[in-house]
Amino acid sequence: MREALLFILLTGVIPSARADDCQARSFGHGSVVCVCNATYCDSVGRTGLPDPGQFLSYVSSKTGSRLVKSQGQFQKNSTGAALRITLNPSQKYQRIKGFGGAMTDAAAMNILSLSSGAQDQLLRQYFSPDGIEYRFVRVPMASCDFSTRLYTYADTPGDYDLQNFTLAEEDVHMKIPLLQRAQALSAQPLNLFASAWSAPAWLKTNGALIGKGSLKGKPGGKEHKTWAQYYIRFLEEYGKYNLSFWGLTSGNEPTAGEMTNYSFQALGFTPETQRDWIALDLGPRLHSSSFPQTRLMILDDNRLLLPHWAKVVLSDVQAARYVHGIGFHWYLNNIVPPGITLTTTHHLYPEYFLFATEACAGWSPLDRGVRLGSWDRAEDYAHDIIQDLNNFVTGWTDWNLALNQDGGPNWVKNFVDSPIIVDSSKDVFYKQPTFYSMAHFSKFLWEGSQRVGVSFSQHTSLEVSTYIRPDASAVLVILNRVGIKKERERKLHDLLDKRDARTTKCLGK
């Protein structure tokens, strides 16, 4: 390991000054957003290494700091009451693949609603060496809830050979041009991966894109083979635009179409039917296509389904031979500890990578939609990413790259939050605190960085994840949420007190 240490700090309590280059604006949600337009946007810039014996820190805080850079001197053999963090490079764990977000129809529409100059600024913030250097982009195959209409690429009933397979206007005129521009800005090839929400209605048991429904017939049958071929046709059509895909998932949230009457696009699979479809249809078709190196991830659903889902699919030799990794979402993560789900799955199947494929703030009915400047949500992001990474996860993908101020568009009004919020009426976009949470990981944890052991000189409530990068420099990502639990409890008590007061008033007491 080189002497130089790259030290990254994400904190909610250090009262450091706001970064001068962030054009800060408060909307009353705990912290600030950074306002960007066609001619100006704050940027972390290109990062280097300090001199031997020195370290760099990048601090973001509730008080308004955004990746504020400073340099310090290591104190060798220091003693005293200060917390000492020690890396142990001999304890080696998983290697990092990378971080990113999703180019949904909604994200593309919002980006394109800006002037060309503001579009370029936004894309640079995510993908350029001066930005936070996303390496992964999730691409929905046809429509999802973050679309303005329902469609697939093969809506002609009975077209089992997919002779009428055609990309949509949303692909050709929105997502594809933006992905090409993002790739041109990136210093390295982007890793695209695709997820499908629903098969064409005529292939499904319920005859609709939404609601509870699965593929007609059985794995190995014509409907299942057509659905597998649909994936190949998607890769072929995007390939005509010089866009290749690093990976695929076996389908977004398969339990949504199997166990619930979902209000938007879904396709149901049990772990058993997903296993058999991969073994008999998708796996062989992908392997014999022009895309045999495309990584296939199973599940693409909430991590509480692990390790059971992995056991069912990967215990079957025929299915397992076609699978590379396990994708999962962050919703309902608090129900089951990550050690039980993620670490257990890793130890059972260490040859398959774990990858977080979707997350967003504002999804809960108790805290729905956009909260401009919310620091709580930034901390939730950082906490979840650190928790995942410390339990053998190799990467983390956010949901929509950009949404409007309502948290859409979304045809079913399933509005959520995003790290970038667009206000097209003013030709500006707002970089949320969650954008900077993502930056503390995506900017500094290069592909191939390896998580290593860490110890502390005394008990600490800090959340820490430590790495050795391919250039032998070290990275620490530290989240300081000391006091945040009490603060959230206070907010909850205040809310309950207000409700009690309203109830008392209504009762006439």
Amino acid at 354: L
**Residue 340: CB partners within 8 Å, gap ≥ 6?**
none
Q: How far apart are CA 216 and CA 160, in angstroms?
A: 12
**Domains, the chain:** 5-94+454-490 (2.60.40), 95-453 (3.20.20.80)
Q: Catalytic site residues?
A: 253, 358
What's the angle, vertex CA 150, arms to CA 201 and CA 127, rounded to 5? Answer: 120
Q: How far apart are CA 349 and CA 259, in angstroms?
A: 26
**pTM, two decimal places:** 0.92
Each of the 509 residues of the chain gets a pLDDT tens digit; together they read: 444 455 666 654 444 444 448 999 999 999 999 999 999 999 999 988 888 888 999 999 999 999 999 998 877 766 666 888 999 999 999 999 999 999 999 999 999 999 999 999 999 999 999 999 999 999 999 999 999 999 999 999 999 999 999 999 999 999 999 999 999 999 999 999 999 999 999 999 999 999 999 999 999 999 999 999 999 999 999 999 999 999 999 999 999 999 877 899 999 999 999 999 999 999 999 999 999 999 999 999 999 999 999 999 999 999 999 999 999 999 999 999 999 999 999 999 999 999 999 999 999 999 999 999 999 999 999 999 999 999 999 999 999 999 999 999 999 999 999 999 999 999 999 999 999 999 999 999 999 999 999 999 999 999 999 999 999 999 999 999 986 555 555 554 554 454 444 433 333 33
Task: Indicate the DSSP class of residue 140.
Answer: E
Residue with token string 């066609």? 38
Reported as half-sphere exposure (CB side, CA atoms, 13 A), residue 208 has a value of: 11
Q: In this structure, are residues 294 and 245 in contact, taking their beta carbons and an 8 Å threshold? A: yes
Q: How far apart are CA 76 and CA 87, in angstroms?
A: 14
Considering only CA atoms, which of 259, 343, 255 is closest in space to residue 307?
343
Q: What is the per-residue burial (b if ≥16 Cβ within 10 Å, else e) of 452-478?
A: bebeeeeeeeebebbbbbeeebbbbbb
